[in-house]
Amino acid sequence: MESCMFPRKQNAILITDDDSLRELIYGLFPPDVMEWTHYRRATAAVEALFNEPPDLLLADNRLTDISGAEVASMVKSENVYRQLPVMLCLPPEDLEKGMDFSLIEADDFLLLPVGAAEARSRICLTISRALRSLDANPLSKLPGNTSIIQRIQDLIDRREDFALAYVDLDYFKSYNDKYGFSRGDEALMMTARVIVNTVRGFGGTASFVGHVGGDDFVFIMPPKHIEEACQRLIATFDQIIPNFYDHDDRERGRICSTDRQGNIREFPIMAISLAVVFNCNGSLKHYGEASAIAMGLKKKAKEIETSCYVLDRRKSNCDS
C-alpha cells in the first residue's frame, strides 16, 4: 500500500457513528502518516475542531445531531478556518436529491459505500491540494501575506472603517534560542489560538486573522471593539505564556540566552506588543500606508518591557 508523501504527519478528525466506515478510514494510512481523532457526534467535535484545527475534517452527512454538510458550512463560515479542507461522506440518495456545493463549500466527498483505494486516493488528493495553497502559513494554517494584503486593500477600496492590529512577540528569539524550534513553534501556535479565539469572541463577520510569518500576526476588527480585544488578548497571553518556560526560569521571571550580537544576557518572559492602525472615513489609500504607520507604533510598543498595545490616536475617531 502506497502512502501519500506529506511533509509531516497529518492530524485529521473523523465524525461518524458508522463503525464500519470508521474502521475503513482508520486503516487507510499508517499512524505515522495520518493520525485520526474520532467523534460520533458533531456537537462533540466542533469545540475541539475550533481550538485545535486539524489538517483535514471528514464528516458523515448521515449524522443525527448536525449533518456533515452543516458542519462543513459552519467551518467555512469562519474566516480563519476557510482554508481547512473538509470532506463529506455521502450516501447516494443525498446526491440524487441534489446538493448545492456553492453553499456547503466542502472540498470533496466520498460516495458511500466506498472502497479503501478510492478513499485513500481522494483523501490524499484533498490534502495535497490544500498543501499547494502556498498562501496559508504552514504552522498556524492562518491566511498569509497575499490574503492579508488583499483583505486590507479591499477594505480600503470599499472605504470601510476598520482597525488593523499588528501583533509581535517580544523576546521570542531568545526563547527560541534557549528552548529550541519545537517549543518555539508551540508558543507560536498558542499565540495564534489566543488571537483567533479573542477575535471570535466578539462575533460578526467583519473580522480577520492572518499570520505574516514567524512571530508576526495581524487581525482586523470593527474599530469599536479593537481596544477591548487588545486588552483581552494581552490578559490571556500573559496568563498562559509563563507555562511555556521551565520552572526555574518561570520563578526567576527571566532566562539567559544569546542576543543578536552573540553575547549571553538575560531576557524577560515573552510579552506581546500590538500596534493598531485605523482606517476611518477613507483615511487610508493603500495597504502600504497601514504598514508604515504600524512600524512606527511597534517601535513605541517595544520600548515597554511588558505586554502592551499602542493606538494610532490620530485616526481612531471612527464612527461607532
Q: Tens digits of per-residue pLDDT, 279-299?
A: 988 889 998 999 899 888 988
Of 168, 309, 169, which is closest to residue 228 (Cα–Cα)?
A: 309
Strand locations in 156-307, DSSP E?
162-170, 208-213, 216-221, 254-258, 264-268, 271-279
What gap in Å lies between CA 207 and CA 199, rounded to an integer?
A: 7
207: its cell numbers:
473580522
**Range of lowest pLDDT (119-123, 130-134, 219-223, 238-242):** 130-134
pLDDT digits over 28-51, tens only?
999 999 999 999 999 889 888 878
Tell me the C-alpha to C-alpha distance, in Å, between residue 253 and each of 244, 258, 261. Answer: 12, 17, 23
CATH superfamily of 10-129: Response regulator (3.40.50.2300)
Give me the residue label for grid cell 462575533. 203
Strand-strand pairing, 216-221 and 34-39: unpaired
Give me the residue label for grid cell 478510514. 25
Residue-range domain boundaries for the chain = 10-129, 145-315
Instruction: Give pLDDT, residue 79.
Output: 65
Instruction: Give pLDDT, residue 145.
Output: 87
Instruction: Give pLDDT, residue 214.
Output: 93
What DSSP character marks residue 31?
A: T
Of 39, 95, 97, which is closest to residue 71 (Cα–Cα)?
A: 39
Predicted TM-score (pTM) of the model is: 0.63
What gap in Å lies between CA 19 and CA 220, rounded to an integer?
A: 43
206: its cell numbers:
467583519
300: its cell numbers:
513605541
Average pLDDT across the chain, whole number: 89
Sign of CA dihedral 109, 113, 114, 116: positive
pLDDT digits over 46-71, tens only?
888 878 889 999 999 999 899 999 99
CB 119 within 8 A of CB 110: yes
Instruction: Give pLDDT, residue 1.
Output: 47
Instruction: Give pLDDT, residue 315.
Output: 55
pLDDT digits over 195-248, tens only?
999 998 887 667 899 999 999 999 999 999 999 999 999 999 999 999 999 999
Q: Does domain 145-315 have CATH number 3.30.70.270?
A: yes
pLDDT digits over 79-101, tens only?
667 778 999 999 999 988 888 88
Residues with Cβ within 8 Å of 147's Cβ and at least 6 positions away in sequence, in order, are 135, 210
